[in-house]
Amino acid sequence: MASFTRVLVANRGEIALRIIRACHEEGLESVAVYSDADRLSPHVRAAHRAVPIGAPPAAESYLDVAKLLEAARATDCQAVHPGYGFLSERAPFAEAVALAGLTFIGPPATAIRAMGDKTEARRRMQAAGVPIVPGTTRPVADHVQAKSEAARLGLPVLLKAIAGGGGKGMRLIREEGELESAFETAQSEALKAFGAGELYVEKYLERPRHIEVQVLADTYGRVVALGERECSIQRRHQKLIEEAPSVAVTPALRRRLSEAATAAAGSVGYLGAGTIEFLLAPTGEFYFLEMNTRLQVEHPVTELVYGVDIVREQLRVAQGQPLRVHSGALQPRGHAIECRITAEDPFNDFLPATGVIRHLQPPSGPGVRWDAGVEAGNEVTLFYDPLLAKLIVWGDTRATALQRMRRALRELVIVGLPSSQSFHLRVMADPEFQRGDVDVTYFERVGQRLLAADLAPELAQPLAIAAALLAEQQRAEATPPPAAPAPDGPSPWLLAARRESIGG
Ligand code: MV4
């Protein structure tokens, strides 16, 4: 558990930039990696060094373990931060990093593996006294066994993939007659998606909330829970809006959730930042769903209400330093909301959009945080996830936070491609959302109605866009950005800055 001075950030976009910033605040040097599609991305310039790792397809760059390890070796990094997605939850990657003599900034590979197998995770949680959804803790061999388990549990049930997560290979069974064919399709879908076709059975809970608890663990045996996030607003298992705390969680329930979450993390020898996902039934009972053994997209809402920098804590505990979180920080203060600003067209079934961001005016002002991975001039492609930025606001109450989010969403101007912005404005104006009356079916139930509504606040948008286009026209003769940084030697951005006498 050696300390380190230089970190390879094995990711891209907003999370790479987030990690690089944390490194710098922690007094660590950062090395970015980038594919050919990301030469001009903000994360590349933010790092001390940047290493090109290949063609745009992730398999040839951000998922190429050999290239990442070579980039770390060539730049004398002693640690690797995987971010989220890509290689972050692949136990073999964590092992390969360690085998190369580097520190993996994340949990032990054993913890990743234990939680990656959903039935093993259920067995371990059961042993640790964490409530699990009624169902099997071993894979079912065939549809006949699935049928008898369904009879035991009572319909409806869900067939889930043991290697799953994120809803893939999942089938809802409401009638016994549906089971045989659902078993076949779920099995082949799981085999295709994960290389493992095994399925298990769970009792289906109607209209639960998705509540997750942030945990942090250090090498001194300390495991702390930083409360919950409400993540029920999702579309096709992609989260759209998250908040902390949840309106459905009382202090007493928070204590029970936190106890369950720390027991869950402790039972797998966890280290660093992790998230325990729960389903919260309308009856108030909660059940372990799965554990995410990585930093999550929505970590900032927890940071804002707990006053903790989760990424800096990751960097500390990975160096064998104790968590700096004190017991006073274990109470939420105020309320935070995050809207994921994605390059998707809400008026065209959230079709992923491509194109050049011609103009970008991020919101700012009191209580507003803008975590972006792109800037004006960047091209958005289909090679990666459509997340452009996260807009996060804090307020002393949920009502203040909500008003602040509406204000910030109105300030935001994106010209060049459609985004989820106007969907978010509509959710903020929705009485059900305003009451906190949400569950995992929210989007399915109200999405279309929201998008059909006429929305007065959006009238501000055409004017802002016109102003943006005018500003861009006036910049038309401006000098083009410098070329991409070379793998070795000073960054051309730095050279350009020196020429302009504004840096270096
Ligand atoms: C469930 C469930 C109801 N009952 N399990 C969806 C993805 C995967 N992580 C688990 N999921 C669910 N599991 C039982 N036993 C409902 C969902 C679910 C869901 C969960 C969290 C967030 C959004 C969701 C949307 C639809 C279904």
- The predicted model gives 329-353 an average pLDDT of 96
DSSP string, 119-175: HHHHHHHHHTT--B-SB-SS-B-SHHHHHHHHHHH-S-EEEEETT--TTTT-EEE-S
The verdict on the CB of residue 240 being under 6 Å from ligand 1 is: no
What are the sequence ranges of the domains in the chain? 6-105, 134-203, 217-461
- Which has the closest alpha carbon to 444: 263, 207, 214? 207
Active site residues: 294
Select the more confidently predicted residue: 168 or 345.
Answer: 345
Ligand 1 atom having least distance to the Cα of 133: 15
Judged against a pLDDT cut of 80, whether residue 321 lies above it is answered with yes
Q: pLDDT class for 474, splitting at 50, 70, 90? A: low
251-267 vs 118-127: helix crossing angle, rounded to 10: 110
- The predicted model gives 147-158 an average pLDDT of 97
With a CB cutoff of 8 Å and minimum separation 6, the contacts of 30 are 6, 7, 9, 19, 20, 23, 24, 46, 47, 48, 49
Å from CA of 151 to ligand 1 middle: 21
Judged against a pLDDT cut of 80, whether residue 324 lies above it is answered with yes
- The superfamily CATH assigns to domain 217-461 is ATP-grasp fold, B domain (3.30.470.20)
Nearest CA residue ID for atom 24, ligand 1: 440
Nearest CA residue ID for atom 23, ligand 1: 440
Å from CA of 167 to ligand 1 middle: 7
With the most atoms of ligand 1 within 8 angstroms of its CB, the residue from 241, 246, 440, 444 to mutate is 440
The verdict on the CB of residue 208 being under 6 Å from ligand 1 is: yes
The verdict on the CB of residue 393 being under 6 Å from ligand 1 is: no
pTM above 0.85, yes or no: yes
- The predicted model gives 453-457 an average pLDDT of 68
- The predicted model gives 417-444 an average pLDDT of 96
Phi, psi (deg, nearest 5) at residue 153:
-80, -30
pLDDT tens digit sequence for 111-127 = 999 999 999 999 999 99
Q: pLDDT class for 272, splitting at 50, 70, 90? A: very high
- Would you state the pLDDT for residue 454? 75
- The predicted model gives 7-26 an average pLDDT of 98
| CATH class (in words) of the domain with range 6-105 | alpha beta
The verdict on the CB of residue 133 being under 6 Å from ligand 1 is: yes
The verdict on the CB of residue 169 being under 6 Å from ligand 1 is: no
The verdict on the CB of residue 369 being under 6 Å from ligand 1 is: no
Characterize the bridge pairing of strands 413-415 and 335-342: unpaired
With the most atoms of ligand 1 within 8 angstroms of its CB, the residue from 136, 149, 170 to mutate is 170
Q: What is the DSSP letter of 204?
A: P
- CA–CA dist 195, 189 (Å, integer): 9
- The predicted model gives 484-493 an average pLDDT of 56
- Which has the closest alpha carbon to 288: 297, 301, 279? 279
Å from CA of 207 to ligand 1 middle: 9
- CA–CA dist 235, 239 (Å, integer): 6
- Would you state the pLDDT for residue 500? 47
- Would you state the pLDDT for residue 502? 38
Residue with the two structure tokens 């700012």: 364
The amino acid occupying position 244 is A
Most distant CA pair in the chain, distance: 75
The verdict on the CB of residue 202 being under 6 Å from ligand 1 is: yes
- Would you state the pLDDT for residue 167? 79
Nearest CA residue ID for atom 18, ligand 1: 440
With the most atoms of ligand 1 within 8 angstroms of its CB, the residue from 289, 290, 291 to mutate is 289
The verdict on the CB of residue 272 being under 6 Å from ligand 1 is: no
The proportion of the chain whose per-residue pLDDT surpasses 90, expressed as a percent, equals 87
The fold of 134-203 is Dna Ligase; domain 1 (3.30.1490)
